Amino acid sequence: MRVLGVDPGLTRCGLGVVEGTPGKPPALVAVGVIRTPADLDVSRRLVQIESELDQWITEHRPDAVAVERVFAQHNVRTVMGTAQASGVAMVVAARRGLPVSLHTPSEVKAAVTGSGRAGKEQVTTMVTRILRLAERPTPADAADALALAICQVWRGGVTSKLQEAAASRSNLEAMAQAQSRLQVARLRAAVAAQESKR
């Protein structure tokens, strides 16, 4: 499974692509940051983010996209920019038919460090170890994007397997009920045929 992680932001939008399966160490495919100038109109900044995200999806062909869930902060302006960039990421993925998962920061931290309260340093250190990188990914937005992708590979992969198993079970149950109804109908027909002979 190949996942594009997006750490949304207007000034810096972290991007990280990893490939792997649940229970095994994933491998780095690509990492980077989309930067937009603060003096540029917000709408133009969002178009720039949209364009670069689209290029990343074309180039790296992920199976899914993981975006950090925006949560309330003290700085409303920062939250707005983050939410707008997050929305752009979801639209770009949806346009390509890719499934999008949202993960909270504490969920991502818990997945890569074992603690939902880990600091940025711990997350970066663990991302470096998990992906067996020679250097730490910088800036922090890039490391966070990789952490999101790792979280999706490990947790999202398990969730999708459970959903597939549940769907398969539902199909089997439906088939069994259909067979049961068919058998009952045949028995009734046989009984009716016997009675008509009497």
Catalytic residues: 7, 68, 141
Q: Where are the alpha helices (DSSP H) in 14-113?
A: 42-60, 76-95, 105-113
Of 198, 175, 179, 173, which Cα lies nearest the Cα of 187?
179
Distance CA 36, CA 46 (A): 9
What is the dihedral sign for C-alpha 46, 51, 54, 55? Answer: negative
Query: What is the Cβ-side half-sphere exposure of residue 128, based on CA atoms within 13 angstroms?
Result: 13
- Under a CB-based contact definition with an 8 Å cutoff, are residues 83 and 71 in contact? no
Output Rg (C-alpha) for the chain, integer angstroms.
Answer: 24
